Amino acid sequence: MLVSGSLSTSWTAYLGLLSALSATFVPSVAVKEHDFKKCHQSGFCARNRAFADHALATTSWQSPYNIAPESGSFKDGQYQATILKTINDKGETVRLPITISFLESGTARVTVDEEKRQKGEIELRHNSKARKERYNEAEQWVIVGGLTLDKAAKVDYEDKTQVTVKFGPSSEFEATISFSPFSIDFKRDGHTHVKLNDQGLLNIEHWRPKIEKTESAASEETKEGETKEQDKKEKPKKEDESTWWDETFGGNTDSKPRGPESVALDISFVGYEHVYGIPSHAGPLSLKQTRGGDGNYQEPYRMYNADVFEYILDSPMTLYGSIPFMQAHSKDSSVGVFWLNAAETWVDITKGKGSKNPLALGTKAKTSTHTHWISESGLLDVFVLLGPTPKDLTARYGELTGTTAMPQEFALGYHQCRWNYVSDEDVRDVDRKMDKFKMPYDVIWLDIEYTDEKKYFTFDKHTFPDPIGMGKQLDSHGRKLVTIIDPHIKNVDNYPVVAELKSKDLGVKNKEGNLFEGWCWPGSSHWIDAFSPAAREWWASLFKYDSFKGTMENTWIWNDMNEPSVFNGPETTMPKDNLHFGNWEHRDVHNLNGMTFQNATYHALTSRKPGELRRPFVLTRAFFAGSQRVGAMWTGDNQAAWDHLEASIPMVLSQGISGFPFAGADVGGFFGNPEKELLTRWYQTGAFYPFFRGHAHIDARRREPYLAGEPYTTIIGAALRLRYSLLPSWYTAFRQAHVDGTPIIKPMFYTHPSEEGGFAIDDQFFVGNTGLLAKPITQKDRVEVDIWIPDSEVYYDYFTYEVVPTSKGKSVTLDAPLEKIPLLMRGGHILARRDIPRRSSALMKWDDYTLVVTVGRDGKLAEGDLYVDDGESFDYQAGQYIHRRFVFDAAGKSIVSVDAEGRSAKDVQEGEWMKKMRQVGVDKIVIVGAPAAWAGKREVTVESEGKTWSAKMEFTPAMKGRGAFAVVKKLGVRIGADWKISFA
């Protein structure tokens, strides 16, 4: 969080302190859009856009990048060659080694480096200690698998101008590498899908020495600027060197010891009209064009993790985290690219029929999407994923960067946060009131004020005299505490943490190689350098129970401000010429910074006490590709406004398809005071965020859900209980995400990739495989909503079992008075719930299950699954879990439960938790849309574990649009056992 423009009284003290410490530094109290760079203010972005303008406007434009004749060789799934970049009229060239790796998964990777820099044959300016190589360690932090080379890939055709490689599953993928100019054309099933450098925008700014200009040269340049329009068109424009050597923004100067070094490439998606991904941006799921025109953006999408508080909506502006993974989608086909670069990155998007080279496209009238990727430094490193389905893309991406960590079950419950719960008694009081008003919740949070003057790893002794007593009260109902720990360490005497950081030399350095000092919440601070193994080891020591006193087994951690936020730094972050472990410049690793810090905390939480190992919970604000492996994220400092509620859904959906589905927005809105209707609708929406947390700014009035008053309190309570009853289904969806990268809430294009009408819809979604289709209300005074129906299945209202009169590809209007969440059940699914309301998820651990079956149109099969484990340990990795598949067969008149993974009882040695689960059963099955023929039936036959018995069934006939339904009670079957229920 960051302080808002309006200052509370409690804040004034802090400001006084700051001004006492520094007469010159004025804290930014109103960060606005103009505090962040536009493309024209970011030298390399401006240069590459100008390069693109010139290339696209010049008919005879030829990319100056060519593969050197005879330089190419193909071996064991890898093609290697040297690209020669022609740098002047004399034909001088720069050597750029390229490696194209064909991976077993069918993904291709293209990596381009710079030979002079590989060899260290460059000179740095300003006596910089920075590394000479292009940053080549992003892979080390990001990639966890999927790099095995495809030994079956083979050269299919080769001559002096090109080479074609066949690769991928049954060799259905093909890459044609053209030498002059260099480009790559990726085909699937004989059709081109992705093209690299088709528009000739490849640009790798090679290292060059700075030549100090003589006065006459400088004046010549002025003349150059006056060149006649006509000349300009014909002659290649002289490059604008003004931003090569240093750049100033907002009073901060970047010394750029290596000069210009950007990498850029155009990537065309041939025949694709929609592109998704590259979160986090506050805009539509289907990305907009960025080169102006009606309804389009003027600016490229930017990825440069930043503390952008009070962010503006419908904007390509950067936010707190970045995932440079983009998916293109057209009817029945998905492809994607993953741009592995952690430096500041911009992406321009344009759409159009044909291309610069229409013949080469081979598709006539179809719209294509052209993207232009621009990064400030590092290798050019791009993965091309050829689909063909959205699910293939998320799975392939998951193999590379890892899937979402399996969270503890409590993490899926409701989290109650505000800046700040002011004392341990305040926390105890909220805890009691939540119980009094029957509001289930799992976690209460402490923002920065719990500390002793912003010194992390301490509690304020006056306001939190008894944190352990507080923790124990929470624990008595299975609840947890999350405390905030940020990466800035207060620079003050008598604080052992900062003393150790200094003496052990574990902080981020400035460009001179001395400990970097900047400003954040505590005033003067230093930043832990989580890129350093020694720093991570030290960090772990700080979380031990006897070190972080006041914490106990149910304390978990929130990492905020890890972009990192530096109040007096350029764009509220670190200077780019700061140095990290290994002397890599901050410039190279900026977008990785948040992830390495969250990861350091994640690992710290696995070693608090010998013998105690549970899945850590760490929430992060900044993130990158791979952060999903170590925790949850939220969308940062939003506002208590209807349009922010609305914007949260596409933002959370975008996280989901981009491999980081454990995502949510602050319920209620961080800044401001939500009116009660907004707060209520926000809880109804938040109950469908994978990460569900209410949060509020220090200046916002208290808004714990029980304070809302009637009817709001009751309605919010119902939304919380809906979340809790569906926890088994949410947990199952997380398991799926953990196994193969599938999003937890899914947009229409993902579940129905053939239905073009759904490709731009981003305000409704399916939950896991449950068939639940939700469209939360995000507008004021709305009492009905149109929901788009993607198929011809039958849809039932979740609450009333009404059969909604739908037709495929059309919208249907649903009633949605304040107390109602528009939520449908698609026919053909089975979902699991736990229906007894309790105070926390931990208290539901041994409750029986309810299964809800929705009978599909034409009596098709209904299917679903349930995954359950102990919800906290890593024992699931040793098979300690129950994973059932339920199948309802209307024709066969039965429901069966079988092991979803085909394991038999003897495959699993039952541990303590599994033994205890023997007592947990299925209490009830509801069959919505039950066949009319069941009227009059009172009993069903149950078979399980070698026994047969009967159970009671109640049948309620269809009536006034509501479907018939049957309820079978007191089944007496175990959740972990095979069973069969016959209705015949």
Cis before 388? omega within 30: yes
Give least dist CB 141 to ligand NAG, A. Answer: 4
Give least dist CB 626 to ligand NAG, A. Answer: 6
CA 35 to chain centre: 25
CB 601 within 8 A of CB 376: no
Position of minimal CB gap to ligand NAG: 599
The residues in 141-160 that bind ligand NAG, with binding defined as CB under 6 A, are: 141
The residues in 104-143 that bind ligand NAG, with binding defined as CB under 6 A, are: 141
Identified catalytic residue from 344, 560, 577, 588 = 560
Bridge partners (DSSP) of residue 481 are 444, 555
b/e map of 886-919 (b: 16 or more CB within 10 Å)?
A: bbbebeeebbbbebbeeeeeeebeeeebbeebee
Phi, psi (deg, nearest 5) at residue 162: -165, 165
Report the residue number, 595 or 700, with the smaller CB distance to ligand NAG: 595
Is 603 near ligand NAG (CB under 6 A)?
Answer: yes
Identified catalytic residue from 637, 699, 755, 870 = 637
Q: Which stretch in 194-202, 479-487, 593-601, 839-847 sits in contact with ligand NAG by CB under 6 A?
A: 593-601
Give least dist CB 503 to ligand NAG, A. Answer: 21
Report the residue number, 454 or 536, with the smaller CB distance to ligand NAG: 536
Give least dist CB 583 to ligand NAG, A. Answer: 18
The residues in 941-970 that bind ligand NAG, with binding defined as CB under 6 A, are: none
Is 414 near ligand NAG (CB under 6 A)?
Answer: no
Give least dist CB 500 to ligand NAG, A. Answer: 17
**End-to-end alpha carbon distance in the chain:** 60
Give least dist CB 877 to ligand NAG, A. Answer: 18
Report the residue number, 336 or 626, with the smaller CB distance to ligand NAG: 626
49, containing H or E segment? helix 43-57
Identified catalytic residue from 174, 447, 563, 704 = 563
Around Cβ 232, how many Cβ atoms within 10 Å? 14
Give least dist CB 381 to ligand NAG, A. Answer: 16
* 279 closest CA partner among 220, 345, 331, 233: 345
- How deeply is 972 buried, as exposed, middle or buried, from its count of CB atoms within 10 A (0-12, 13-18, 19+)? middle
Q: What share of the chain is helix, strand, coil (3-state, %, to 5)?
A: 25, 30, 45
Give least dist CB 553 to ligand NAG, A. Answer: 22
Report the residue number, 324 or 626, with the smaller CB distance to ligand NAG: 626
* Cα–Cα distance list, 111 to 7, 64, 100, 339 (Å): 49, 18, 6, 10
Report the residue number, 398 or 626, with the smaller CB distance to ligand NAG: 626
**Active-site residue flag, 835:** no
The residues in 234-253 that bind ligand NAG, with binding defined as CB under 6 A, are: none
Given 286, 599, 628, 654, the residue binding ligand NAG (CB under 6 A) = 599
* 380 closest CA partner among 355, 349, 343: 343
Give least dist CB 561 to ligand NAG, A. Answer: 17
Phi, psi (deg, nearest 5) at residue 311: -65, 150
The residues in 667-686 that bind ligand NAG, with binding defined as CB under 6 A, are: none
Give least dist CB 957 to ligand NAG, A. Answer: 58
Around Cβ 239, how many Cβ atoms within 10 Å? 13
Beta pairing class for 555-559 and 618-620: parallel
**Number of residues engaging ligand NAG in binding (CB under 6 A):** 7
Report the residue number, 232 or 614, with the smaller CB distance to ligand NAG: 614
Report the residue number, 244 or 581, with the smaller CB distance to ligand NAG: 581
b/e map of 780-813 (b: 16 or more CB within 10 Å)?
A: eeeeebebbbbbebbbbbbeebbbbebeeeebee
Angle formed by the axes of helices 424-436 and 467-475, nearest 10°? 20
Give least dist CB 603 to ligand NAG, A. Answer: 4
Label residue 74 left, alpha or beta by phi (over 0 means left) and psi (-120 to 50 means alpha): beta
Report the residue number, 333 or 601, with the smaller CB distance to ligand NAG: 601
SS3 of 470-485? HHHHHHCCCCEEEEEC
CB 369 within 8 A of CB 199: no
Binding mask 532-551 for ligand NAG (x = CB under 6 A): ----x---------------
Q: How far apart are CA 300 and CA 37, in angstroms?
A: 11
CB 252 within 8 A of CB 25: no
Report the residue number, 323 or 653, with the smaller CB distance to ligand NAG: 323
**Active-site residue flag, 310:** no
Label residue 412 left, alpha or beta by phi (over 0 means left) and psi (-120 to 50 means alpha): alpha
Report the residue number, 538 or 749, with the smaller CB distance to ligand NAG: 538
Angle CA 882–883–884, to nearest 5: 115
DSSP codes of every residue in 541-567: HHTSTTTSTT--TTEEEEE-STTT--T
**Active-site residue flag, 460:** no
Report the residue number, 530 or 831, with the smaller CB distance to ligand NAG: 530
CB 260 within 8 A of CB 44: yes
Q: Which stretch in 72-80, 223-231, 592-600, 666-674 sits in contact with ligand NAG by CB under 6 A?
A: 592-600
Given 204, 287, 400, 595, the residue binding ligand NAG (CB under 6 A) = 595
Give least dist CB 599 to ligand NAG, A. Answer: 3
Q: Which stretch in 190-198, 428-436, 591-599, 830-838 sits in contact with ligand NAG by CB under 6 A?
A: 591-599
Listed in order, strand segments (DSSP E) in 600-752 are 618-620, 632-634, 663-664, 666-667, 692-694, 745-746
Q: How far apart are CA 84 and CA 93, in angstroms?
A: 6
Q: Which stretch in 44-52, 596-604, 607-615, 782-790 sits in contact with ligand NAG by CB under 6 A?
A: 596-604
Give least dist CB 604 to ligand NAG, A. Answer: 9
Report the residue number, 37 or 603, with the smaller CB distance to ligand NAG: 603
Given 262, 377, 596, 685, the residue binding ligand NAG (CB under 6 A) = 596
Given 626, 672, 674, 828, the residue binding ligand NAG (CB under 6 A) = 626
Q: Which stretch in 520-528, 595-603, 866-874, 904-912 sits in contact with ligand NAG by CB under 6 A?
A: 595-603
Residue 298 one-letter amino acid: Q
Sheet with 555-559, side-by-side order of all strands: 663-664, 632-634, 618-620, 555-559, 480-484, 443-446, 414-416, 692-694, 666-667
b/e map of 283-319 (b: 16 or more CB within 10 Å)?
A: bbbbbbbbbeeeeebebbbbbbbbbbbbbebebbbbb
Label residue 77 left, alpha or beta by phi (over 0 means left) and psi (-120 to 50 means alpha): left
Q: Which stretch in 310-318, 421-429, 594-602, 812-820 sits in contact with ligand NAG by CB under 6 A?
A: 594-602
Label residue 957 left, alpha or beta by phi (over 0 means left) and psi (-120 to 50 means alpha): beta
Report the residue number, 188 or 603, with the smaller CB distance to ligand NAG: 603
Residues that bind ligand NAG (CB under 6 A): 141, 536, 595-596, 599, 603, 626
Positions marked catalytic: 560, 563, 637
